Amino acid sequence: MKEQRLTGTALIAETVKRLPERPGVYRYYDARGELLYVGKARNLKKRVASYARGQGHSTRIAMMIRQVSRIEFTTTATEAEALLLEANLIKKLKPRFNILLRDDKSFPYILIARDHAAPRLMKHRGARRIPGNYYGPFASAGAVNRAIAAMQKAFLLRTCSDSVYANRSRPCLLHQIRRCAAPCTGEVSMQEYAELVKQAEAFLSGGSKRVQAELTRQMQQAAERLDFETAAILRDRIAALTHITQGQGVNPRGFESADVFAIARDGGQSCIQAFFFRNWQNWGNRAYFPRSEMAREESDILAAFLAQFYDAHPIPPLILLSHDIAERALLEEALSSRAGHKVRVHVPQRGEKRQFVQLALDNAQETLAQRLATTRAQQQLLKRLAETLNLPHPPERIEIYDNSHLHGDNPVSAMVVAGPEGFMKAHYRTFNIRDAAGAKGDDYAMMREVMRRRFARLVRDEDAADDSFPRRPDLVLIDGGAGQLRAATEVATELELEDIAFMGIAKGPERNAGNETLYFPDGRTLRLSPRDPVLYYLQRLRDEAHRFAIGAQRKRRAKATRASSLDDVPGIGPARKRALLAAFGSVRGIARAEVVELAAVEGISERLAQAIYDHFH
């Protein structure tokens, strides 16, 4: 007789006997091996034992406990270490019953790179491998781009790559419009350029008033000696600095650097608004929508969010919160240990700090209200879509496909995904058509190849579907008419995809929006009213796929164009190609180079340099 394995409270009660009375992290798994929950404890034995009680739990917790089929644990030296390990495991493994931080992209920074005689002003995201000074974090790439554009006017620092800098023979357009001092061609001495860099770093470090005062003094001196051209340049730089400081909105006076977090909850959803202040300046804000399967208090969600957030982001000395959290002292200890400096987590009740928290709270409430309104409208739209297309239920996942090529060259197909919360950009995918010879310019063959690649593995092994191809869609929308739809449904029939609805959408003979025809696998067609919201929605889906496909095809074509000119030269492999492009900046720069200049590149002999020169001439 097969031995019956313990599950649920019986398994937990049995496991508790073997658990140590030490800090650590415990993990619950179900019968399929799926991770259900990760938790931390000051005392593993006591904490896990609390789950063995058959009463006193919420419905969600009780449902989770019933599914527990395996328990693992890891001991740590301190409870603070357990908190950090818990946050790391939740971010990495994404258990179903934990609060999960979504949209956890790294923050962009402004970098003044110091790996060149003329330091470069640039945007940076990711690991800090480039020597230089980093300033931020900024809330978004757009905020960094706007700041860099304004700083170009104020400090005239170069933004070009080192290879472009090395191959300039005359100033570029940025110098002509007073956005760069042009150190590349000697329009400014290296000493003068170093002073511009020094001013930019002082400004980014919080010395904006000091920099403006110095520029004002220089402008007055230039005017006194009747050097009105220099005075006008300094005047424009001062105006640009004023624009930057005004554009930063509210700046703090009572603290230098801090992060401010406020949480709002409504309709089963949460929004955490984060404001970032560095060097007395406001570097913007960002909204987060953590996922919580279980009903939680705002303080619980905020505490779980902070532990995961600072697993990968820089930690300031001060963190201001809208709601107090249960283990604030423990979080301070853990963050201080990770940051290498003292970190204070504070819930202000009055004064300037409270005003900033209230500002974040107001933003969180407004953002959540907008999201809920959008979500409700989206749900209504999906409901109408299901009614129009006779779907059994509103689709949770819609995949839209479009092909793109230029006279059959560099064919690409794109997959765009949408759902109840809008476009799911993390799930977008592109397919470089492999059977280019057989499918060149043949939209039907391209569609068959893409459908087979998308769904064959899913059908073969549903459990093998990972983040590269998540769960199957409810509706597949093909940008095309009856022919493209037929090609897709042939593969669907072959793979027995009976539970997925397919549909094609094509513009009319005049190619005008509003005249679209919907095609169904059974041969039916449907024309919706030009003012029908469902038609607007389908147009948006189709246009997004078209935009994404064209962008992917252009990138592939540009890459092929760059590569092909050098690939035709015998003896030029990937390493030498990289060396040449690094030295001359582009294929055009290589084509203009003389034999002596080509031979000066590492790995290029005189004979090979002559062959490259002959190829382009």
What was the pLDDT predicted at 465? 42
**Dihedral sign, CA of 291, 293, 298, 299?**
negative
What was the pLDDT predicted at 411? 80
For the question of whether the overall pTM of this predicted structure is more than 0.85, the answer is no
Name residue 590's amino acid.
I
Contact predicate 96/36, CB 8 Å: yes
Q: At 318, is the pLDDT very low, low, confident or very high (cuts 50, 70, 90)?
A: very high
Q: What is the DSSP letter of 286?
A: E
What was the pLDDT predicted at 435? 67
What was the pLDDT predicted at 208? 61
Kindly give the pairing relationship between strand 475-479 and strand 501-506.
Answer: parallel
Q: What is the mean pLDDT of the chain?
A: 80
Question: Residue 134 forms beta bridges with which residues?
Answer: 111
| 458 pLDDT above the threshold of 70 | yes
**Dihedral sign, CA of 569, 574, 577, 581?**
positive
At 528-584, the pLDDT tens digits run: 887 888 888 888 888 888 888 888 777 776 666 555 566 667 777 777 877 887 777
What are the structural domains of the chain?
Answer: 8-93 (3.40.1440.10), 109-247 (no CATH), 258-369 (3.30.420.340), 398-558 (3.30.420.340), 568-616 (1.10.150.20)
Angstrom CA distances, 316 to 229, 255, 312, 338, 372, stand at: 43, 11, 13, 11, 32
CA dihedral 562, 568, 573, 578 (to 10 degrees): -30
At 461-472, the pLDDT tens digits run: 554 444 445 578
Residue 218 in tokens = 């220089």
Give me the mean pLDDT over the 146-159 stretch: 82
Contact predicate 151/281, CB 8 Å: no
| 425 pLDDT above the threshold of 80 | yes
What was the pLDDT predicted at 105? 63
At 190-202, the pLDDT tens digits run: 988 988 888 888 7
Question: Residue 419 forms beta bridges with which residues?
Answer: 422
What was the pLDDT predicted at 242? 64
Please classify residue 211 by burial: count the beta carbons closer than 10 Å to its beta carbon, then call 0-12 exposed, 13-18 middle and 19+ buried: buried
What was the pLDDT predicted at 143? 72
Q: How far is residue 535's CA from residue 532's CA, in Å, rounded to a whole number?
A: 5
Give me the mean pLDDT over the 510-519 stretch: 72
| 320 pLDDT above the threshold of 90 | yes
Angle at 153 between CA 150 and CA 156, to 5 degrees: 120
Give me the mean pLDDT over the 599-609 stretch: 85
What was the pLDDT predicted at 438? 47
Question: Which is more confidently placed, 94 or 451?
Answer: 451
| 289 pLDDT above the threshold of 70 | yes
Q: How far is residue 367's CA from residue 486's CA, in Å, rounded to a whole number?
A: 43
At 222-271, the pLDDT tens digits run: 777 777 777 777 777 777 666 555 544 456 777 878 889 999 888 778 88
Give me the mean pLDDT over the 22-38 stretch: 86
Angstrom CA distances, 279 to 122, 208, 258, 312, stand at: 19, 10, 9, 21
